[in-house]
Amino acid sequence: MDLTLSLSKGEVRRTGDIMTFRTLDTADLAGKRALVRVDFNVPVDGGKVADDTRLRAALPTIAYLSKQGAKVVLLAHFDRPKGKVVPEMSLSFVAEPLSKLLEQPVAFASDCVGPAAAEVVNALENGGVALLENVRFHAGEEKNDPDFAKALAANGDVYVNDAFSAAHRAHASTEGLAHLLPAYPGLSMQRELEALDAALGKPKKPVIGIVGGSKVSTKLDLLNNLVAKLDRLAIGGGMANTFLFAQGHDVGASLCEKDLADTAREIMDKAKAAGCELLLPVDVVVAKKVAPGVETAVRQLNEVQADDLILDAGPESAQRLLAAMDESATLIWNGPLGVFEVPPFDEATVSAAKHAGKLASEGKIVAVAGGGDTVSALNHAGVAAEMTFVSTAGGAFLEWMEGKTLPGVAALEG
C-alpha cells in the first residue's frame, strides 16, 4: 500500500491541530539556491559509507530540485564534533558515493559558511549539486545561534528540510534557517509527515498500536499518549512484565521494573477511561537463560516459575494480536514483542510482522512502524518492504508518537 505525495498546500493534522506547509510543487525553483538539510549521519567502515540508506532517502528531493533548475546546496551533520573541526568527522567522504547515486558531480566545500562555502555555491550551474562541510563543526549549529543561521542562509534563496530524523532538534540548520528563508519540507520529509498523519493524525479507525521493548520507564510518555488515542494497544517485550506484575502475576526472574507497578496501573486505568483496550500477554515463552537453542516452555501466567525468564509472548497471545489486527484499519508499531535477536524468542514478533505486512500489502490496513529495534525486527522478518511506511527516524519518530512538538517540523508551518 503506497502513500502518495498528496499534501496539497501541505496540510497535515497532528494531535487535533492543523499544520499547513508550503510544498515544493508550489515553489519557483529555477536558478534559486536551495539549501537542503539532509541526514547524512551514515554508518562508516574504513572511512567509507557502510550503509547508503540515508543517502538514497535524499535522492528524490535532490533530483527534483535539480530537475527544476535549482542549485542544490546540501547541509548535514556527521557524528558529534561538539562545535570543533574534527578532520575524521568531515563529510568529504560522502561526496563520491552520493555522486554515483545521483549520476552527476557533487562539489564539496570545506566549510558550510564563509568564503569556502560561497565559492563552491557561486560556481554551481542550475541543476548542480554541492555538499557543504559538517554543520556541527560550528558551535552555533547546536546552539541554534541566530548569527550562524544567518551565515548559513547567505548561501540560499529557499530552505528545504528533508531530514525528519533531525527534526526533534532545534538547531540552526533544522529550525533557525526556516525562519530566514521561504521554507518547505523535502519529499522524504513530506512522505514521513503523511505517514504519521495517517497513523495518528487522522487515521482510519479502529486503530491498534504495538509497543514493545525492554523498559516501561523509557516509554512512559509514549504509552500515556497512545492510550488516549488508540482503540487497542498491545504491550510486549520486557515492559509487558511490569504490567503483568502490576496485575499481581509472578514474573519469575524476568526483567521487570517492579518500582513502576503503580505507574503501570495508572496507565491501565487511563486506558480503561479512554476506551482503549490493552492487550497484554495471556501466555508466555520462558527459558532459564537467553541463548540460541536453549530449552523453552510455554507457560500460562499462573505457571511461571521462580527461575523462569519471560522472553517472548506465547502463541495464544500472538494469535489474539493477529485477530485484533484483522479487526483494525490502522496499525502503528514501535518495539518488538520479545528478544527477537535470539531465536526462538523471535516467533511472536515475526508472526505479527508477517501478518501486518500481509494485511498492508493487500490494502486491508495502514501499517506504520518505526524505531531502531522495530526496523531491525521487520527486516529480520523480511517484511519491511510490505509495510505501508517504515520510519528510520528514531528519536524524532518516537517524539512524534509521544505527542511532542518537533521544532524542525513546526518551523516549516506557514
Q: Can you give the chain as a three-state secondary structure string?
A: CCCCCCCHHHCEEECCEEECECCHHHCCCCCCEEEEECCCCCCEECCEECCCHHHHHHHHHHHHHHHCCCEEEEECCCCCCCCCCCHHHCCHHHHHHHHHHHCCCEEEECCCCHHHHHHHHHCCCCCCEEEECCHHHCHHHHCCCHHHHHHHHCCCCEEEECCHHHCCCCCCCCCHHHHCCCEEECHHHHHHHHHHHHHHHCCCCCEEEEECCCCCCCCHHHHHHHCCCCCEEEECCHHHHHHHHHCCCCCCCCCCCHHHHHHHHHHHHHHHHHCCEEECCCEEEEECCCCCCCCCEEEEHHHCCCCCEEEEECHHHHHHHHHHHHCCCEEEEECCCCCCCCCCCCHHHHHHHHHHHHHHHCCCCEEEEECHHHHHHHHHHCCHHHCCEEECCCHHHHHHHCCCCCHHHHCCEC
Say which CATH topology domain 195-401 has: Rossmann fold (3.40.50)
Global pTM? 0.86
Domains 8-188 and 195-401 share a fold: yes
Q: What is the average pLDDT across 38-43? A: 95
Given a cut of 60, whether residue 298 has pLDDT beyond it is yes
Q: What's residue 334's pLDDT? A: 95
pLDDT, residue 36, reads: 98
Of residues 288 and 392, more confidently modeled: 288
Task: Give the start-to-end residue ranges of the domains of the chain.
Answer: 8-188, 195-401
Q: Picking from 7-21, 119-133, 149-163, which range would have the lowest pLDDT averaged per residue?
A: 7-21
pLDDT above 50: residue 7 = no
Mean pLDDT confidence for 333-339: 96
pLDDT at 406: 93
% of residues, the chain, pLDDT over 90: 88
Asked if pLDDT for residue 160 goes beyond 90, the answer is: yes
**pLDDT tens string 101-120:** 999 999 999 999 999 999 99
The mean pLDDT of the chain is 93
- The model's confidence at residue 414, banded by pLDDT at 50, 70 and 90, is low
Active site residues: 54, 215, 372, 395
Asked whether residue 11 carries a pLDDT value surpassing 80, the answer given is no
Kindly tell me if the per-residue pLDDT of 167 is higher than 90.
yes
Q: pLDDT band for 20, please (50, 70, 90 cuts).
A: confident
Q: What is the pLDDT of residue 152?
A: 98
Compare 62 and 18 and report the one with higher pLDDT.
62
* pLDDT tens, position by position, 344-367: 999 999 999 999 999 999 999 999
Q: What is the pLDDT of residues 242-292, one digit of tens each?
A: 999 999 999 999 999 999 999 999 999 999 999 999 999 999 999 999 999
**Residue range 175-181: mean pLDDT, rounded:** 97
Q: Please tell me the least confidently modeled range out of 78-87, 177-186, 399-408.
A: 399-408
Q: Is the pLDDT of residue 2 over 70?
A: no
Share of the chain above pLDDT 70, in %: 95
| 8-188 carries CATH number 3.30.70.1350 | no
Higher pLDDT, 169 or 394: 169
